Amino acid sequence: MGSSTTTPPLTRASVIEAHALIKPHIHFTPVLTNTTLSTLASTPQTPEALKGTPYEGQTPAKPKVKLWFKCENFQRVGAFKARGAFHALARLSEEEKSKGVVTHSSGNHAQALALAARTHNIPAHIVMPTISTPSKIAGTRSYSANIHFSGSTSQEREAVVATVIADTGATFVPPYNHPNIILGQGTLALELESQVAELSNGAVKTLDAVIAPCGGGGMLSGVATALAPTGVQVYGAEPSFEGGDDARRGVAAGKRVETVKTLTIADGLRTPLGDVTWGVISDPEKVKGLFAVTEEQIKAALRLVLERMKVVVEPSAVVGLATVLYNEEFRRIVEKEGGEKGWDIGIVFSGGNTTVEAIGKLFAVDEKKAERAEGVLGAQGEKVAENVAG
């Protein structure tokens, strides 16, 4: 995508340059805080919550946490993907722009690229599986994109992309595995830094850590690239269901996991890392660690955001929050390194592209399951309620 001369190096300076290019076209999304969730994150988990984990029978961690939420669910097209798409198109040559762009995506990247292409009056070809959600097809079409349907496997989608390129000469814009995409996504970290400093009236000069969802790794790589020189520790969060924690497993084994087959409710994170994102995320100097959470923990975190923050997000967006709340390994790191002062942690809400029907279906379970999904907190939640009452 673009010639080598139009692909900047993966550095903080390049992220700053990318931000200047896309700033006229993206929303400056808000950063929110929430006393209840910060208090909950600072409350030890119950013995019940630790049953069946390596920490069963041990004293729960007692981290001190202040949470800062970067709300990319309020970004254009409802997700951070708009940042990478606008930056990728800004880097194309005039000849490339005249021939158009193509990608394969069934979700946020499809809509983001379609929007960016329409904004710059560039033809856009989006290859979407026939099983794509009708609302996402409609959303992509609303941005005047040319939709090409395909089968659901990566091989089928790529075959249609190859045909489009052969017919039109369009430039392929990948969803995540390219420096221009990574640099665009990383711009949210620059905003988060400045917003936290402003909202805290200078009391928080720098965050201690940022935790972001990890699917294909474009956004996590961008955040890590932006923050690497600052001393802010960057972590990734994934679902554990059916091997959805491929990045975590790959880094632990020292080899990239190239295929993932999971039906986790965090459907935006069902994609394996690419070779470019792997190069960033496997570097311990850039990403300090990766953590996985269960489906019930994701549901519990989602319920808290919906009910306590009154913010609509998709399940993929809350895996970072779920990690801070329920992953005992991460919580022990915060307790050890944060000490009495504690940590100010930035959490990226990656997107909000869900529906009332999808949320209803997610929580349409029997009463006992609902208690478990909501009650990973158990008595811990009751303590929080007492602490923040009034």
Burial of 227 (0-12, 13-18, 19+ CB in 10 A): buried
Q: What is the pLDDT of residues 86-102, one digit of tens each?
A: 999 999 999 999 999 99
Based on the residue annotation, tell me whether 310 is a catalytic residue of this protein: no
Which pLDDT score is estimated for 157? 87
Instruction: Report whether 60 contacts 46 (CB < 8 A).
Output: yes
d(CA 61, CA 325): 11
- CA distance from start to end of the chain: 55
Which pLDDT score is estimated for 131? 81
**Is pLDDT of 367 > 70?**
no
Based on the residue annotation, tell me whether 350 is a catalytic residue of this protein: no
What are the DSSP calls for 337-378, one per residue? Answer: HHTTT-EEEEEEE-B----HHHHHHHT---HHHHHHHHTTST
Farthest CA pair distance, the chain: 64
Q: What is the pLDDT of residues 236-295, one digit of tens each?
A: 999 999 999 999 999 999 999 999 989 999 999 999 999 999 999 999 999 999 999 999
Q: Give the CATH number of domain 31-78+179-385.
A: 3.40.50.1100
Residue with token string 């599986």? 129
Model confidence at 372, pLDDT cuts 50, 70, 90, reads low
Question: What mean pLDDT do residues 145-163 have?
Answer: 90
Which pLDDT score is estimated for 134? 82
| 87, amino acid identity | H
**Interior/surface letters 70-82, b for 16+ CB within 10 angstroms, e for the rest:** bbbbbbbbbbbbb
Q: Give the CATH number of domain 80-172.
A: 3.40.50.1100
Measure Cα distances from 123 to 100, 117, 149, 169 in Å.
Answer: 4, 6, 17, 11
Q: 68: part of which helix (H) or strand (E)? A: strand 65-71
Instruction: Report whether 111 contacts 84 (CB < 8 A).
Output: no
Question: What mean pLDDT do residues 6-35 have?
Answer: 96
**Is pLDDT of 385 > 70?**
no
d(CA 24, CA 313): 25
Which of 14, 38, 42, 106 does the annotation list as catalytic? 106
Instruction: State what percent of residues in the chain have pLDDT above 90.
Output: 82
What pTM did the predictor assign?
0.92
**Is pLDDT of 172 > 90?**
yes
Question: What mean pLDDT do residues 121-142 have?
Answer: 89
Model confidence at 6, pLDDT cuts 50, 70, 90, reads low
What are the DSSP calls for 154-165, one per residue? Answer: HHHHHHHHHHHH
Model confidence at 143, pLDDT cuts 50, 70, 90, reads very high
Given this chain, do its domains 31-78+179-385 and 80-172 carry the same CATH topology? yes
Q: Going edge to edge, which strands form the sheet with 101-104?
A: 146-150, 124-129, 101-104, 171-172
Which of 66, 81, 286, 299 does the annotation list as catalytic? 81
**Is pLDDT of 384 > 70?**
no
d(CA 37, CA 260): 32
Which pLDDT score is estimated for 388? 45
**What average pLDDT does the chain have?**
92
Helix or strand or coil: residue 199?
A: helix
The residues, any chain, with a CB within 8 Å of residue 13's CB and separated by 6 or more, are none
d(CA 263, CA 243): 10
Which pLDDT score is estimated for 390? 37
Which pLDDT score is estimated for 5? 45
**Is pLDDT of 163 > 80?**
yes
Which pLDDT score is estimated for 380? 53
Q: What is the pLDDT of residues 46-66, one digit of tens each?
A: 999 999 899 999 999 999 999
Q: What is the pLDDT of residues 183-241, one digit of tens each?
A: 999 999 999 999 999 999 999 999 999 999 999 999 999 999 999 999 999 999 999 99
**Is pLDDT of 320 > 50?**
yes
Could you give phi then psi for residue 293, rounded to 5 degrees?
Answer: -130, 155
The β-bridge relationship of strands 31-32 and 65-71 is antiparallel
Q: What residue spans define the domains of the chain?
A: 31-78+179-385, 80-172
Q: For 151, how many CA atoms within 13 A lie in the half-sphere containing its CB? A: 6
d(CA 43, CA 381): 9
Residue 342, by phi and psi: left (phi above 0), alpha (psi -120 to 50) or beta? Answer: left
